Structure 1
Amino acid sequence: MKNIEELSVNTIRVLSAEAIQKAKSGHPGLPLGAAPMAYELWTNHMNHNPADPEWANRDRFVLSGGHGSMLLYSLLHLFGYGNLSMEDLKNFRQLGSLTPGHPEYGHTVGIEATTGPLGQGMAMAVGMAMAEAHLAAVFNKDGYDIVDHYTYVLGGDGCMMEGISSEAFSLAGTLGLHKLIVFYDSNNISIEGSTDIAFTEDVTKRFEAFGFQTLEVKDGNNLAEIAAAIEAAKADTTRPTMIKVNTVIGYGCPAKQGKASAHGEPLGEENVAALKEYLEWPCKEAFTVPQEVYDHFNEAARKKAAVEDEWNVLFEKYRKEYPDMAEKWDAYYNGYDLSKLFDSEDYWKKAEKPEATRSTSGSILNEIKQLMPNLIGGSADLAPSNKTNMKDAGDFSKDNYAGTNLHFGVREQAMAAIGNGLALHGGLKAFVATFFVFSDYTKPMARLSALMNLPLTFIFTHDSIGVGEDGPTHEPVEQLAAFRSLPNFCVYRPCDRTETAAAWYRAVTSKDQPTALVLTRQNLSQMQGSSKEALKGGYILEDSKKEVPDAIIIASGSEVELAVNAKAELAKDGVDVRVVSMPSMEAFEEQTAEYKESVLPKACRKRVAVEALSDFGWYRYVGLDGKVVSMTGFGASGPAASLFEKFGFTTENVVATVKSVL
């Protein structure tokens, strides 16, 4: 007879194998091998409360190896999270189920992050640990450690191979994030076979170089050894910890364990039966859990709830002793009211002279920071250029977790994922920044921002060929189209201060959508016709005197001035055009059909769009009869003014293009 802990571990294994087999799809290798470490952590060391999954001071657990999702679903079911039922496990990977192929934040109760692309969960966990450290520095008082929790992340060889994990853990070590504990499921197997064919480095030495405490569990089935490693990790109060746990992929399945075939395909009915025999599984019927196992997890859950009860008592005392801090806590977690700022005329004022929108953004960021103390973020070593430094906010560092200016170093990929982690944690409003051309490094993480409905703000400066002398390697062309193609992602490319104010308004008031601010390096004139209408994404900047204009010129960013100048020149020839500023296609598409028709009437098919980037996406507005003045290749090295002339971004060319469609 197995003891209750062995039986519980094997329950996780069997449920995982059965669900994957029923779906005829999935990855049994990780759940079978990692079940002991997950059980030991969740049952005996991790503070969490299934009855209150959103408890602010819970420990976070991220399954970076998201393909092993059945490990997590089995735990959530056994602990009673969100009433995740046995029927839900039976519907693993089925359309509309609560048990999708990879964990999805916001879809299944208890999932802390959407994971799938390997390594991203590792970096998001670093962001969560940074959030914990910062909030602890802000709120904790003597005798009141109301922010005091760990971030655990589990991944395997694939996560360690991905470069994003090295970027993130290098920063974590530099910052001394001692409440970050990384479980490395080391089984030396990947899809193509032994990891030796492509991965022979000493991962432990790499983590030592990062500044981590490193521990090793020689037998991944030994619960006592796993427990000792977790406690040793917690005992180090100066460094994050990586625990290398040596496991056997597909453990318990005689024909599959230790083999690549255990990774990403169902075991097969005969092998599931062999697994149960090897594990001495007591239940004959599939998807059956011994009652003593349920009782065991229920008792564990009861103890977890008691831990939160103790915290709640402490927090109520804290509220009474520090009412100002309690009010601040509520604002951090529920959001600040910025209406005083956004309703003021001063916020929407015009700049007194031409100004780069990156500079305008920096000024507005500091205005918002005054009323939103939980605004936190930074740049990938480009803050002076991105204009993202917040004055008097302090730098977040190992010696000052209270600072809100983050320094990510030259690590764009990790930066974006860490931003996701900050947003996922709760209590903070995060932003990240880099040059627009380097947004390519952030794209996979931005995609997850959108997928998770996270209101993370991306600040992308140096937005076009206006970068000039740095040449085509630094001049974005296709990047704007790429971000516009993302579902649930809002992009703003403003033409002046007023539109930049609108972009920031959109970004910091968003509850469930990321926003990108795409900003210029070069100075832009202030447009007389720009207004708060920019919040609608597209609006009439300068109108025609005719009910149906002779033509419509649509532009964004630095090219709006070109459109205005072209209108003036066309008027000399008796051509009366409307100029539409389109800082955000996404915001424009949210408007009513009536509003969109009022801006871009169907009766006017003679349209020209002007944007110093790819034309991809513009034909939805100019139609088959219209034209686009855009980039058709990469840029060049030279002064910005010379490049705009070379590539046709001149008043003369816009005028000629409009005349060509009349």
Structure 2
Amino acid sequence: MAAPTETSLDQLCVDTIRTLSMDAVQAANSGHPGMPMAMAPAAYVLFAKVMQHDPQDPDWPDRDRFVLSAGHGSMLLYSVLHLSGYSVSLDDLKAFRQWGSLTPGHPERDRTHVTPGVEVTTGPLGQGFANGVGMAMAERFLRERFGEEVMSHFTYAICSDGDLMEGIASEAASLAGHLGLGRLVYLYDDNDISLDGPTSLSFGTEDVTKRFEAYGWHVLEVHDANDLTALEAAIEAGRRETDRPTLIRVKSIIGYPSPSKQGTSKAHGSPLGEDEVRATKEALGWDPDAHFLVPDGVYDAFSQADRGAEAHAAWKRRFEEWKGSAGDLAQEWELAWEGGSYGGRPLPGLREALGKGKVDWGKEKLATRAAGQKVMAAFSPFVPTMVGGAADLSESTKTEFPGGDDERYTKAKAGRNVFWGVREHGMGGAVNGLAAHGGIVRPYGSTFLQFADYMRGSIRLGSLTGLRTAWVFTHDSVALGEDGPTHQPVEHLAALRAIPGLVVLRPADAEETAAAWRVVLEDLQGPACFALSRQDLPILAEADHDGVAKGAYVLRPADGEEQAAIVGTGAEVHTALAAADLLAGEGIAVRVVSMPSWELFAQQDDAYQDEVLPPALPKVSVEAGISMGWERWVDRSVAIDRFGASAPGTEVLERLGITPEATAAAVKELLGA
């Protein structure tokens, strides 16, 4: 057989992506073949001709990032990863969508399941779009801080009509344009088809070009997805536009070149069928009976042995030269990357700075949101590459680092304080992207606890991925008062606690807030969220930092022969203490337990759990939220199993029964007293 010409070899590579994708979906009898077949040329150009990446070291810091936001097209990514030389074998492709495989139905990256070359977990549409914005924000922040010698790469993504329909993508696109994020190049698979049928059913009148130009994006068009020259030229034009993000509209035909299903929704979400796979291979001039075939020359065409490895080696040389003269910045770099998305180590000086009594609270009563502001100022020097902010609520959530205008992340300068705007879901996806990029220590987002619902999809994916993010939620109960039930969280703590892998922390006072932040920054390998009070709370002399790290501890032992335990979280720890005083006046001795984190307490051994909450001891919880879940720890709950009301916070709490008197009554009822 004659050696293929460059043009025919390019086509052979593209068609190999298509046939591998078809075969894997058919073997699994499950999946989405249409997008991988249509966008195979774009993936080929990116991975084989444009991107700087090294399959032998998928995590080198200055690699180009690629996000498949249209995660249902996962076989597109798995095929190019395999062909490019990543540790994704043909056997892995054959195990598509099977238990424990490296090729799950949608791209996944977590602490136990890492497919080499997969940067983020995608699937729910729009999430990857927002992740990429966060990655571009991370690259720009680190480039400005450390220099172009060691940080200067691009973020690419393939997104779909479905991605652009999702509100999270609109939020993230608006922010990216506002910040002028160059080095961000998205290829939009513009195929006019969604799962229900033609996009004209729901997306037919929107002018995507004008929409993104209005966001401040640079918009280009490729009229035929099979035109490799036009694709490469458009991507290069996007790379040259460094002051705006770029969207490339790629006109494609879903399922191309399937003879009977291309251009229809039948190619979207189910296998083509054995007969159609054969017919498609015949249309390509392939042997219809050959499965998972990689023709001669294809691996070499994809090989990064020269271009990728050389780019990586050149970066290493630059890095060593930079490191030799960078001084403290070099140490900061090492700490930033070790404390990034996966892993971490104690931050020098942090434990001492946040130790009990080390932060000057300035008063005897302080809302935990205000305490959080003081804690952030105290740990700010130890995490100089921590980036985040609030969703247009920084004055209320008090989550800015000191520094004023110099620390703002703007179009002109990438500072640490991000003004996310009223974009909770976009903020959530972008914060996940900041974490997934690496080098950004514990990126965070902040809003009222009530609005965690608006970003739940992002919180969940961050947990699934195991990203080391921090969510700072304030105004954590009906005690916020007059804004009423629309702004008063009641079911939110339970909903967040239901997410596997997410640690929820509801500190009782300023000292517990400092301890909680120390745990988040140094101990946790996954995401965490804070629930902080709007109202002032007394600072507890008994607060125990080590107890916070264990999730629960005996804050105040019973005075005398104990008869029960009252367990509280957050502000209601003070309710529990007052209830204990009432009961003591009636001769009933109870211990008071502060339980800032169910999840951390659940990680402790049985002996410690039994020491804090003895199995035989009657137990009552008090928390200004729904009672769901408390049955795991206690026998009776003082809770709010309804929506709140508009009135001063103290009155709302009293009318809804979150009082020392109601708590004491519950204890007596449990004891039969």
Fold equivalence (TM over 0.5) = yes
Partner of 1:469: helix, strand, or coil? coil
Partner of 1:27: helix, strand, or coil? coil
Match of 1:587 in 2: 600
Q: Is 2:620 the partner of 1:619?
A: no
Q: Is 2:432 the partner of 1:420?
A: yes
Q: Is 2:391 the partner of 1:361?
A: no
CA distance in 2, matches of 1:237, 1:154: 19
1:334-386 deviations in whole A, cap 9, x for unaligned? 23743533145855458441100000001001111111111111000101111
Alignment of structure 1 residues 402-551 onto 2, 5 Å = 403-429=415-441, 430-532=443-545, 533-545=547-559, 549-551=562-564
CA distance in 1, matches of 2:662, 2:322: 66
Partner of 2:549: helix, strand, or coil? helix
Q: Is 2:172 the partner of 1:168?
A: yes
Partner of 1:154: helix, strand, or coil? strand
Match of 1:123 in 2: 130
Q: CA deviation at 1:284?
A: 4.2
Distance 1:174 1:345, change over 3 A: closer
Asked if the contact 1:79–1:301 (Cα under 8 Å) also holds between the matched residues in 2, the reply is no
Alignment of structure 1 residues 645-656 onto 2, 5 Å = 645-656=654-665
Q: Is 2:583 the partner of 1:565?
A: no
What is the TM-score with the length of structure 2 in the denominator?
0.95
CA distance in 2, matches of 1:525, 1:493: 15
Partner of 2:260: helix, strand, or coil? coil
CA distance in 1, matches of 2:357, 2:20: 58
CA distance in 2, matches of 1:415, 1:399: 20
Q: Is 2:639 the partner of 1:630?
A: yes
Query: Of the candidates 382, 391, 395, which is equivalent to residue 371 of structure 1?
Result: 382
1:537-579 deviations in whole A, cap 9, x for unaligned? 11101112456x3111111111111111111111111111111
Match of 1:270 in 2: 275
Partner of 1:123: helix, strand, or coil? helix
Q: CA deviation at 1:324?
A: 3.2
User: Number of residues paired by the alignment?
Assistant: 651
The percentage of counterpart residues that share the same residue type is 47
Query: Of the candidates 287, 294, 308, which is equivalent to residue 289 of structure 1?
Result: 294
Query: Of the candidates 135, 159, 168, which is equivalent to residue 163 of structure 2?
Result: 159
CA distance in 1, matches of 2:139, 2:156: 12
What is the TM-score with the length of structure 1 in the denominator?
0.96
Q: Choose 155-164 or 649-658, whichever is displaced more.
A: 649-658
Asked if the contact 2:47–2:302 (Cα under 8 Å) also holds between the matched residues in 1, the reply is no
Distance 1:81 1:345, change over 3 A: closer
Query: Of the candidates 43, 48, 64, which is equivalent to residue 53 of structure 2?
Result: 48
Distance 1:301 1:72, change over 3 A: farther
Alignment of structure 1 residues 185-264 onto 2, 5 Å = 185-200=189-204, 201-264=206-269
CA distance in 2, matches of 1:146, 1:87: 36
Distance 1:483 1:348, change over 3 A: farther
CA distance in 1, matches of 2:165, 2:496: 27
Distance 1:347 1:137, change over 3 A: farther
Q: Is 2:333 the partner of 1:326?
A: no
Q: Is 2:103 the partner of 1:99?
A: yes
Q: CA deviation at 1:527?
A: 2.2
Partner of 1:375: helix, strand, or coil? coil
1:394-440 deviations in whole A, cap 9, x for unaligned? 10111112x10011000000001110000000001211100000010
**Structure 1: stretches of 5+ with no match in the other structure:** none
Query: Of the candidates 134, 148, 154, which is equivalent to residue 150 of structure 1?
Result: 154
Q: Which amino acid aligns with 2:397?
A: N
Partner of 1:442: helix, strand, or coil? helix
Partner of 2:537: helix, strand, or coil? coil
Q: CA deviation at 1:501?
A: 1.2
Asked if the contact 1:463–1:518 (Cα under 8 Å) also holds between the matched residues in 2, the reply is yes
Q: Choose 340-349 or 355-364, whichever is displaced more.
A: 340-349
Q: Is 2:141 the partner of 1:134?
A: yes
Match of 2:342 in 1: none
Q: CA deviation at 1:52?
A: 1.1
Q: CA deviation at 1:511?
A: 4.8
Asked if the contact 1:186–1:244 (Cα under 8 Å) also holds between the matched residues in 2, the reply is yes
CA distance in 1, matches of 2:391, 2:22: 42
Q: Is 2:82 the partner of 1:77?
A: yes
Alpha carbon RMSD of aligned pairs, Å?
Answer: 1.4
Q: Which amino acid aligns with 1:118?
A: L
Q: CA deviation at 1:322?
A: 2.4
**Structure 2: stretches of 5+ with no match in the other structure:** 340-344
CA distance in 1, matches of 2:353, 2:434: 30
Q: Choose 65-74 or 647-656, whichever is displaced more.
A: 647-656
Q: CA deviation at 1:608?
A: 1.0
